[in-house]
Amino acid sequence: MLLARLTLSNFRNYSELELEPARGLTVFVGANAQGKSNLLEGIALLGTGKSFRTAREGDAIRRGSQLAVLRGEATLAAGAVELVCAVERSSRGTRKTYTVNGGNVRYASYLGRMRVVTFVPADLQLAGGAASARRAFLNVALAQAEPRYYHELARYRRSLQQKNALLRGAIAADPELLATYDRDLIESGTQIMLARERIVRSLAEGARRAHLRFSGSERLEVGYAPDAPFDAPTEQAVTAALEARMRCCSDAERLRKSAIAGPHRDDISLMLDGESLATFGSQGQQRTAVLALKVAEYAVMRQRAKEAPLLLLDDVLSELDEERAGAFLDEIGEYEQAFIAATHLPAGLPAYAHVGRIANAEVDLSVAC
């Protein structure tokens, strides 16, 4: 897949930007606060419908405007597609709308049209942060790779919200109604857990190989750590494990007035040479591990969709030594289209890379490498 044309209107510090990105690797360089990260955020928002910087996407609308429009033309194996994501702010809040080839669509139908893999500074939380960051990583990857996953996740979240509201009620929760919510949670939760197990299994091998190439000798192990451990990745086994876990926690949930069992408590385990990456890994080791995980995500998405996703990298090489940075640049050099934002050109940048200079929200793609 190639992003052939990009237009940002009233997005962040861009009043109007039109680009025709090149195939292969492009590095956008410039001082801080010039628009490098904003450009990558715009591409990611166009592809995923979500910002990687804020949950309040109305903040991404340029000051003085009420509407930001992101437009892209992508070339896919099946043909060209035009995507538009509009973010509108009003007294009633922020609203997003999506169109595909000129027709309005729901978010669920929009997602996965232009797949994107990102690595931004916040992604370092995958290595040392809370489990919620790792669940979010799985959710974004799976929602793009498996259309059904988004529907199951939305269904699970609705049931979870209803169950929590019932548990927090002023009077004792109705056992029959709780049982109804639990059945819904088990049904959708089983599909979520099976999908997570599949993708983590695929990610594990790819991340192990990539990490070995980047580090030279260190062994990265990635594993799925479900809240309800199961014996085998089958629907029957996962359902049984989830039922047992919910039964075990039912009294505690009534006491705490909150649902504490289920895939909303899942995690990913990351081990480096047999030790916890979060506890014992240096900042450089954690960054290398996350890079390896992202390379594996790219490979999994490309294999499942039969289409290469876009790769967006914001300030990824600043904490890596020259050897690891060089190994990573070699890795992504063969990717169909990748964009890096940096304050300076990385050492060892391949001669075939394209360079764009960004200053005052203007992009010059005529810069020689």
Domain-wise residue ranges, the chain = 1-115+309-369, 122-306
Domain boundaries 122-306, CATH class: mainly alpha
Query: Cα–Cα–Cα angle for 124, 143, 3, nearest 5°?
Result: 80
pTM, two decimals, is 0.93
pLDDT digits (tens, 9 = 90+) for 249-289: 999 999 999 999 999 999 999 999 999 999 999 998 999 99
Q: Is 344 buried (19+), middle (13-18) or exposed (0-12) by CB count in 10 A?
A: exposed
- What is the reported pLDDT for 219? 97
Residue ranges in the chain modelled with pLDDT below 50: none
- Residue 155 neighbours by CB under 8 Å, 6+ apart: 184, 188
% of the chain surpassing 90 pLDDT = 85
Q: What are phi and psi of 201, to 5 degrees?
A: -60, -40
- Residue 78 neighbours by CB under 8 Å, 6+ apart: none
Indicate if 122-306 has the same CATH topology as 1-115+309-369: no
The CATH code of the domain at 1-115+309-369 is 3.40.50.300
- What is the reported pLDDT for 346? 85
pLDDT digits (tens, 9 = 90+) for 203-245: 999 999 999 999 989 999 999 999 999 999 999 999 999 999 9
